[in-house]
Amino acid sequence: ISTTRAFAERWLMPRLARFNAAFPQLVVHIDATEELRAPGAEGVDLAIRYGRVDRAGEPSVLFSDRYIAVAASAICPPGARPAIDDLRSRSLLAFRWKNAALDSPAWSAWLAGADHDPGRDFRISWYSEEPLALHAAERGLGPLLCSDALVDEQLREGTLRRLDGPALAGFAYRLVNAPTAARRKSVTAFIDWLRAEAAAFRAPHELVMTRAA
């Protein structure tokens, strides 16, 4: 399976034990890289790609994400959902995207939809890699604007908290497979499991969006 390092580490790995338990006879190899690996070449059976989708209802899409602001629970005040003004002493965290073609959600867009003091400026601390920024947020260095898919486990466990503010539209994770690989029972089993996990992740998020609308 070829996918980005952040997706492999933050979304796929926390769920992979369930696949191993259901299919102990199968072995999964993870190729975590920002480079595009073509399914069918270099031993890659499946690739999980991230980006825009041109057609509505594209069958290859696993789910789409949203961008939310999060911060380590240790630096957030107790009680209701924390606000960005609660963290004025911290730098905003951000990372540089490897794919320049994607117009990544920015702090300026998030702040435009959040309730905060417009008369005060924020500093931004930049990281060259997305996983580094995620680790920095977990260690309390500041709030981070990131994909909700990549902090799902941490939000459920309570080590990260979502800040009061908008959820910006993100992009789609989609599955690409080599035609010959898809005919193998082992690959089919993983595809079916992956789609079930994606549906389970997507369902509560879609419910929240429906209620918000």
pLDDT of residue 211: 41
Separation between Cα atoms, residue 145 and residue 167, nearest integer Å: 10
Separation between Cα atoms, residue 122 and residue 99, nearest integer Å: 25
> Residue 53: is it exposed, middle or buried by C-beta count within 10 angstroms (0-12/13-18/19+)?
middle
The amino acid that residue 60 corresponds to is: S
Q: Give how far Cα 23 sits from Cα of 2, 176, 187, Å.
A: 20, 22, 11
pLDDT of residue 181: 64
Model confidence at 182, pLDDT cuts 50, 70, 90, reads: low
Query: Which domains does the chain show, CATH number per domain?
Result: 2-63+171-212 (3.40.190.10), 66-169 (3.40.190.10)
Q: Considering Cα of 164, then 166, then 171, then 173, what sign does the dihedral take?
A: positive
Q: pLDDT, tens digit, for every residue of 161-175?
A: 999 999 999 999 999
Q: Give how far Cα 58 sits from Cα of 30, 52, 61, Å.
A: 25, 11, 6
Instruction: Of 167, 171, 32, give the one whose Cα is nearest residue 101.
Output: 171
Q: pLDDT, tens digit, for every residue of 10-32?
A: 999 999 999 999 999 999 999 99
Query: Quick check: 206 pLDDT over 70?
Result: no
Q: pLDDT, tens digit, for every residue of 23-76?
A: 999 999 999 988 877 777 778 889 999 988 877 668 889 999 999 999 999 999
pLDDT of residue 116: 87
Model confidence at 207, pLDDT cuts 50, 70, 90, reads: very low
Place of tokens 């949203």: 66
115-144: average pLDDT: 92
